[in-house]
Amino acid sequence: AAVRLPAQRSAVEEAEAALDAARAAERVEAELVDLRRVVQERREAWSDAREHWLDLRARRLEGMAAELAASLADGGDCPVCGATEHPRPATHTGPVVTAADEQAASAAADAAESASAAAAASLDGRERELVALRARAGDIPVSDQVSALQELTAAARDTGLLAAGLAPDESRLAGLLAERESSAARLAADREELGARTGERNSLADALHELEQRLAAARGDDADLPARVIRLTAAADRCAALVTAVTEQSRAGAAAAAALRTAEERAALGGFDDVLDASAALLEPGRLGALDRELDGHDRALAVVRARLAEPELAEPADRPDVAAVEERCAAATRRREEAVAELERARRCAGVLTALSGDVTAAELELAELRSWAEQVTALADVVNGRGSNILRMRLQSFVLAARLEQVAEVASRRLLEMSGGRYTFLHSDAQGRNGARGGLGLDVFDEYTGVRRPTKTLSGGESFMASLALALGLADVVTAESGGVQLDTLFVDEGFGSLDPNSLDAVMTVLDELRRGGRTVGIISHVEELRTRIPTRLEVVSGRDGSRLAA
C-alpha cells in the first residue's frame, strides 16, 4: 500500500488535471463557435472592402483623363503629350473619384485585412489550445472523468489508511529494494555484454563489406562470379590452346630451319649438290660396313669369275645374262631404300615434336590445376555472398547488411508504434525464409503485448497496418537523421490512410504527429476524413468546380 500510495496520488493529480483540461476544452469549444463566426464576418468585410477599393480604383482610372484635364492651363505644357494648346480637354460625366478617396478605400481594405488576419490568428491559437487540452483530457466524457476522479480519490484515501499499518513490512521492502539493485547490476552487465556483441557484429559487418567489395572487383562486368569463372576458364583454355599452337609452330619452324641449314652444310661437305642428293645417298647404320664387305666379296667373286672366264672353254658362253632386268631390280631396290630413309627422317622429326609437346602438356596441366583451385575458392565465396551452399537461411550478403539496418529501424519505429497502438504492438525483425524456400532476412513481425504472441504483419487490421506503416516511416526518418551528421528531415507528408482508424487510434496518431510538430517539424496530412477539419488548425482545401479546382484557406 505504501508503494502504491505515491502512484495513486499521482493518478489523482493526473485525473484532476485531465478533468480541468476537459472542462477548459468545453469552454474553448463554446468560444470557438463565436470566433469562427467572427472570422467569417471579418473575411467577408475584408472581401467587401477590397472590392470597394478596386471599384474606386477602376472608376478613378476611367476619369483620369478628366482629372488631368482639370489641371491644364493656357500656354502650359500638357503632362501627357506636351502640347501648349488644349482645344478640347477631356471631360467625365460620372461621379469624380479623387486620389484621397482611393487612398481611404485602400486603407480601409488594409485595415479589414489586418482585422481578418488577427481574427484568424486568434482562432488558430484557440484551436491549438483546444488540441492541447484534448490531448491532456483524452476522449473520456467529463461526467466519467468526475466519477473516475472520485474513485481514485477514495482509493488513495484507503491506500493511505493501509499504508499506516505497513511498518513491519519495511524490512521486507528493503530486501526487495536490494534485490532490485542486484538485478540492476546484472542488467548493466548484460547491457555491457550487449555492447560488446554489437561491436563484434559491427566488425563482422565491416568485414562483410570488405568481402563484398572484393567480390565486386572479382566479379567485374559479369552478372555473377560463376558466370565470370566459366567465361575466364573458357578464355584461358582458348588462350592456352592458342599459345601452345603458336609455340609449337614457332619451335617447329625454328627446328626445321636449323635442321635444313645443318643438312645443307653437311651435304656440301659430302660433295652433294643439295639435301635431296644427300638424302638419296643415306644409308642405314651399319649398312656401310655391310656394303664394304659385300663389295669385297663382290671383288673376290669378280676375280674368280674373271679367272673362270679367262679359261678357254668359257670364252664364248652360250647364254649371256639379262643385264636390263638386273638393272631394273637394282633401281627398284634403290627407290625402296630412298623411301625408307625419308620415312625414317619424318619419324625422327615427329618424335622430337612429341617430346617437346609432352613438356608443354605437363605445364598446361599444372596451370589448369591452379586455375581450378582458384575457381573453387571464388565459387565458394560466391555461394556465401549469394546465400547458397551451407547457408540455411539462404540470406544474401546484401540482405544481411540491410537486415542490420532494418533492425535499427524496427527498434526506433517500435517506440512510435507502441505509443500509437496504446502499448500493444512492437516490431520484431524476422530472418525466416519466405514461402516455397524463398530467400529471407528482410522480414518484419509484430509482438502483441495483449496476447504475448508474435504475429505476421499481414494479420493486422487496416487501421493497425496504417499505424505500422507510419511508425516505420518515422523510424526510418529518425535513423537517417541520426546517421547523416545531424541533417534533419524537417518536412513530412502523410497521404491518406486516416479513414481506416477508429477514434481512439486517430487520437493516438494525431498525438504523435502533434509531438513531431512541436519538435520543429512540419507535418502535412492529405486526407478526406471530415473529423480532421477540426483537428488541424492550418489547412488548404481543394475545392472542385465547373471551371476547375481551386485552393481555399
**Does 188 or 322 have the greater pLDDT score?**
188
Q: What are phi and psi of 177, to 5 degrees?
A: -65, -40
Beta-sheet strands, E only, within 170-308: none
Report the percentage of the chain scoring pLDDT > 90: 2
**Model confidence, pTM:** 0.35
CA 463 to CA 529: how far, in whole Å?
Answer: 14
Per the structure block, which three cell numbers stand in for 421?
A: 497502438
pLDDT category, 426, cuts 50, 70, 90?
A: very high
pLDDT category, 414, cuts 50, 70, 90?
A: very high
- What is the separation, in whole angstroms, between the first and last Cα of the chain? 55
- Give, in words, the CATH class of 392-552: alpha beta
For residue 470, pLDDT over 80 is answered with yes
**pLDDT (tens digit per residue) in 501-546:** 777 777 777 887 777 777 777 888 888 877 777 777 777 888 887 7
For residue 94, pLDDT over 80 is answered with no
Long-range CB contacts (< 8 A, 24+ apart) of 368-373? Answer: 368/236, 368/240, 371/233, 371/236
For residue 136, how many C-alpha atoms fall within 13 Å in the half-sphere facing its CB?
18
Q: Note the pLDDT of residue 1.
A: 47
pLDDT category, 287, cuts 50, 70, 90?
A: low
**Does 410 or 183 have the greater pLDDT score?**
410
Per the structure block, which three cell numbers stand in for 75?
A: 500656354
Q: Note the pLDDT of residue 90.
A: 52
Q: Is 92 helix (H, G, I), strand (E, B) or coil?
A: coil
Q: Collect all residues with Cβ–Cβ distance below 8 Å to 57 and sequence separation of at least 6.
A: 102, 105
Q: Which residues of 58-89 are buried (b: 16+ CB within 10 A; e: fewer)?
A: ebbeebeeebebeebeeeeeeeeeeeeeeeee
Q: Note the pLDDT of residue 447.
A: 92
For residue 24, pLDDT over 70 is answered with yes
**pLDDT (tens digit per residue) in 144-178:** 666 666 666 665 565 555 556 555 666 677 777 78
CA 509 to CA 517: how far, in whole Å?
Answer: 13
pLDDT category, 139, cuts 50, 70, 90?
A: low
Per the structure block, which three cell numbers stand in for 446?
A: 509484430
In the block, residue with C-alpha cell 632386268 = 325
What would you measure as the largest C-alpha separation in the chain, in angstroms?
Answer: 183
CA 342 to CA 351: how far, in whole Å?
Answer: 14
**pLDDT (tens digit per residue) in 25-65:** 778 788 888 888 888 898 899 889 888 888 888 777 766 65
**pLDDT (tens digit per residue) in 97-136:** 777 888 898 899 889 888 888 888 888 888 887 777 767 6
Per the structure block, which three cell numbers stand in for 204?
A: 563482422
Alpha helices, DSSP H, located in 85-168: 99-137, 142-163
**pLDDT (tens digit per residue) in 294-318:** 777 777 877 877 776 676 665 555 5
Alpha helices, DSSP H, located in 63-98: 64-69
Q: What is the mean pLDDT of residues 204-220?
A: 72
* Opening angle at CA 201, ends 195 and 207, nearest 5: 140
> Of 377, 438, 371, 382, which is closest to residue 223 (Cα–Cα)?
382
For residue 20, pLDDT over 60 is answered with yes
CA 331 to CA 280: how far, in whole Å?
Answer: 12
> Are 118 and 45 a contacting pair, CB within 8 Å?
no
**pLDDT (tens digit per residue) in 236-272:** 666 666 667 667 666 766 766 676 677 667 667 666 6
**pLDDT (tens digit per residue) in 69-92:** 556 666 666 665 665 565 556 555
Q: Collect all residues with Cβ–Cβ distance below 8 Å to 98 and sequence separation of at least 6.
A: 60, 67
**pLDDT (tens digit per residue) in 484-498:** 765 677 788 887 677
Q: Note the pLDDT of residue 437.
A: 56
Q: Note the pLDDT of residue 398.
A: 77
- Between the ranges 127-131, 227-231, 390-394, where is the mean pLDDT highest? 127-131
